[in-house]
Structure 1
Amino acid sequence: SDCIPAQPLPAKQQAKGKGQGPPKSKAVSALETCLHNIEYTSGKEKDPTGSCFCLAREHDLSTYVPLCYGCSLILCNLNLPHYACLHCGELFLDNSHRLTLVAQIQDELCMQVVKEDEERQRAIMEARKAEGTFPMLPSAGGTQGACKGMATGPQSSHKVMSLNNTTKKVTMSSYTNTPISLHPPSPALEEPHRIPPPPKEISYVKQPPDPAHPWKNMQFPNLQHVPPP
């Protein structure tokens, strides 16, 4: 029989499908962006931000390219692997290293997604316990099923009518349910401090030494000795 080509979904259904599921975290988005850049960039460009020359003294050592393949410059985690070396311009994305980096970032991405899913399930269980309902098992319905029926919207109030057996009077009580947020607000990310490159000119004393004072500091000639008190 002839194969019927698959028909694309309408725009409304595609937009509806994209909205399902929890939003991506900043860590997942950063890993996906890094993976895309490593797969599809040439690696010849240098980082437009100037990158960082701290030699892993102020930031952690890069887990992707800790040392430049050409000049052996120590690279911190602010130096992204899809850019060339900030000092000598060495490429980090040749055929062998590109495949290795892609496999490494794919593993990190999978572990990050699993970790966030476990934290999300744990938050749902704790929220249900705080509301006084029986916790739902992770296998029964998944994340979307556990989220149903939870008070995540605005506050809702209800009234309870009770009868006193002694006085035979009816009492009306009001209660308010406060929604529990499953995702605490994340702090704003600050721009990391980058160490600029060293100066191109070497600082040295250009004038010849004084024969009368061979031990004189020619770089700082106005130094004075201050005797201790």
Structure 2
Amino acid sequence: MLFELANDSVWFPSPEFALRDPDGLLAVGGDLHPTRLIEAYRNGIFPWYSAADPILWWSPDPRTVFTPDSLHISRSMQRFLKRTSLHVTLNKAFEQVIQACAKVHELADRGVWIHPEMQKAYTQLYQLGHAHSVEVWDNNQLVGGLYGVSVGNVFCAESMFHTVTNASKTALLVFAEVFFAAGGQLIDAQIRNEHTASLGAHDISRQRYLNKLHTQNTLLRTNFWTPRSLKA
């Protein structure tokens, strides 16, 4: 059963009602107002749709995640991180990152889902302190990064990009180590692919994911999201 959302309420149905085919499709309609988006992420739900479609809301099962003990850094990547001159920052250029992610997806013909409406909505979340970006710089040139939404000690990664080799891996791995060290418990990659799997992402059931989301036994370090350098 596919639920239709009302414009005058931010209520969402339980993710257990999501369709199996297509996997995770739960609801249609509503809007991308920050209050609705925050409510969605707090309940393991996210929007994903093309500009020509109505807003579609998803909660797939299983869910692909990184945990503190699953992160995998290969020996070659360890050597790269030690030697690279790439510089990694947090929350220094959110709008540039989301625009770059949109451009990369469009050029790769992966479907235009980070369209202007989505960019505007997540930029508003960033301004409210709920969405965040990680940037990778080569001197003063942005060459990689990722963005997503924080829910307590869970970070829901939305998209990442790179224009030079290993830049997106650098963004994720550097951020993950700092995030987990500060009390983060889960990085949500949403859906499994070869790239995230090679870095240690694995599948857990939607129910286990929701349990982690709703039962947060550790707190993320105060002021963790303050804009700063993560790797010089």
User: Of Structure 1 and Structure 2, which has the larger fraction of its residues in strand?
Assistant: 2
**TM-score scaled by structure 2?**
0.23
Q: Which structure is higher in RCO with an 8 Å CA cutoff and minimum separation 6? A: 2
Larger Rg: 1
Question: What is the TM-score of this pair, normalised by structure 1?
Answer: 0.23
